[in-house]
């Protein structure tokens, strides 16, 4: 009797809410997948098809070749990878400084870093446009890499300083007693222990650049330089939406993020745990 009650309790308090949550989260993704594999006529047909009756891959072909997703994908990848590299270098070094050194104005500096996160992105558009126009960087991926790096650094610096604080100072000191220089102790002792934090920061940065729309739209005046979110939005006209190709494009856009999370999941959990503890 007791075991039955325990089982019911577990179902009611654990499995049921988790199943509800999961179905709530997964349904839109499932519907996108479902739509991506339906021919145009079946998408708006009634009764609704919960499983494609005439499955087709033509939407993927249309999105990839006709709409130019291959180019948008490549552009997003370039911007994402270089932004992650730049953000990781800057935020690891500045995070180390914030974590290990005491200096005048450290608290105010951190407060200022936090404050930059409250500036609405839309407010920055015109100044950014003017700056990059003067630099001749409109429609150049470098403008996006620089902007995203600048936007992400304050938050990731604070994040990294949390991870670094979690690595005992004594380990560095021990390495230095063993003959390591400061930089060698950083490279051989601190960085390997920081890996989960670095992965977590990198993943967050990549996802931000992968999804960002407004700045990418404003700083790009050439179709061939559009990133994925901008490319996706051009598939929704005022009076027409290519639902099939849009869904297929969204699935394509999802793939790198899913792969990234699948590989980084372990590090991500460890990393976030570290940040919270730190």
Partner 1 sequence: MIKKKMTTSVLALTMATGMLLAGCGGEEKAATKDTKKAATKSDEPVTLQFWDENAGPARTPVWEEVIKRFEEKNPNIDVEYVGIPNASAKSKYDAAIAAEDTPDIGSVQTTWLPEFSIREALLPLDSYFKKSDISKKINPSATGVNKKITQDGKLYGIPYAQNLDALWIRTDWFEQAGVKEPKTWDEFFTVIEKMRDEANNRYGFTIRGGAGASFTIQRAMFAYSGLDFFDKNGKTNINDPKHVEFVEKYFSYYDKLTPKSDITNGYKEMIAGFDTGVVAMVHHNPGSYGEHNKALPAGSYKLIPLPTTEKGQYVAEGGNAVNLAIFKSTEHADEAWKFVEFVNSEEAQSYWNQQTGQIPTNSDVLDDEWVQDAQHIKTAFEVYNNPDTKLYEPPFYLPDYRAILDGVVDPGVQAVMSGKMSAKDFLDEWAKAIEDSKAKYDQTFKK
Give the interface with partner 1 as residue ranges (CB under 8 A).
40-41, 44-46, 67, 125-126, 129-130, 133, 135-138, 140, 142, 181-183, 214, 217-218, 221-223, 230, 233-242, 245
Nearest to 95 by CA among 152, 51, 44, 156: 156
**Sign of CA pseudo-dihedral 73, 196, 120, 104:** negative
Report the nearest approach of partner 1 to the CB of residue 18 (Å): 29
Report the nearest approach of partner 1 to the CB of residue 190 (Å): 16
3-class DSSP state of 101: coil
Specify the residue, 72 or 204, whose C-beta has the smaller distance to partner 1.
72
Specify the residue, 53 or 126, whose C-beta has the smaller distance to partner 1.
126
Report the nearest approach of partner 1 to the CB of residue 71 (Å): 13
Specify the residue, 175 or 235, whose C-beta has the smaller distance to partner 1.
235
Residue 85, judged by CB atoms within 10 A of its CB (0-12, 13-18, 19+), counts as middle
3-class DSSP state of 5: helix
Specify the residue, 116 or 223, whose C-beta has the smaller distance to partner 1.
223
Report the nearest approach of partner 1 to the CB of residue 117 (Å): 22
| C-alpha pair distances (Å), 256 with each of 42, 73, 169, 266 | 28, 10, 36, 17
Residue 168 burial (CB count, 10 A): 12
Report the nearest approach of partner 1 to the CB of residue 72 (Å): 12
Cis peptide before 47 (omega within 30 of 0): yes
Cα dihedral: 54, 57, 59, 64 (round 10): 180
Report the nearest approach of partner 1 to the CB of residue 210 (Å): 18
Specify the residue, 162 or 231, whose C-beta has the smaller distance to partner 1.
231
C-alpha 89/C-alpha 95 separation (Å) is: 10
First to last CA, the chain: 45
Specify the residue, 170 or 238, whose C-beta has the smaller distance to partner 1.
238
């Amino acid at each position: 009797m007791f075991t039955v009650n325990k089982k019911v309790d577990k179902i009611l308090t654990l499995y049921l809410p988790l199943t509800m949550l999961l179905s709530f989260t997964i349904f839109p993704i499932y519907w996108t997948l479902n739509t991506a594999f339906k021919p145009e006529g079946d998408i708006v047909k009634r009764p609704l098809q919960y499983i494609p009756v005439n499955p087709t891959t033509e939407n993927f072909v249309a999105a990839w070749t006709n709409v130019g997703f291959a180019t948008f994908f490549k552009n997003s990848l370039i911007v994402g990878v270089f932004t992650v590299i730049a953000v990781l270098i800057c935020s690891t070094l500045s995070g180390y400084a914030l974590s290990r050194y005491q200096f005048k104005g450290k608290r105010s500096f951190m407060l200022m870093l936090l404050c930059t996160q409250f500036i609405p992105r839309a407010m920055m558009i015109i100044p950014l446009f003017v700056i990059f126009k003067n630099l001749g960087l409109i429609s150049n991926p470098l403008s996006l890499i620089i902007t995203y790096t600048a936007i992400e650094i304050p938050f990731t610096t604070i994040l990294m300083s949390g991870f670094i604080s979690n690595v005992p100072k004594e380990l560095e000191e021990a390495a230095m007693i063993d003959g390591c220089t400061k930089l060698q102790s950083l490279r051989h002792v601190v960085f390997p222990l920081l890996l989960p934090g670095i992965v977590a920061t990198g993943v967050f940065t990549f996802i931000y650049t992968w999804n960002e729309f407004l700045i990418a739209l404003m700083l790009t005046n050439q179709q061939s330089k559009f990133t994925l979110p901008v490319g996706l939005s051009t598939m929704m006209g005022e009076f027409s939406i290519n639902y099939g190709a849009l869904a297929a494009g969204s699935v394509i856009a999802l793939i790198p993020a899913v792969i990234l999370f699948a590989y980084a999941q372990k590090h991500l959990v460890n990393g976030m745990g570290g940040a919270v503890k730190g």
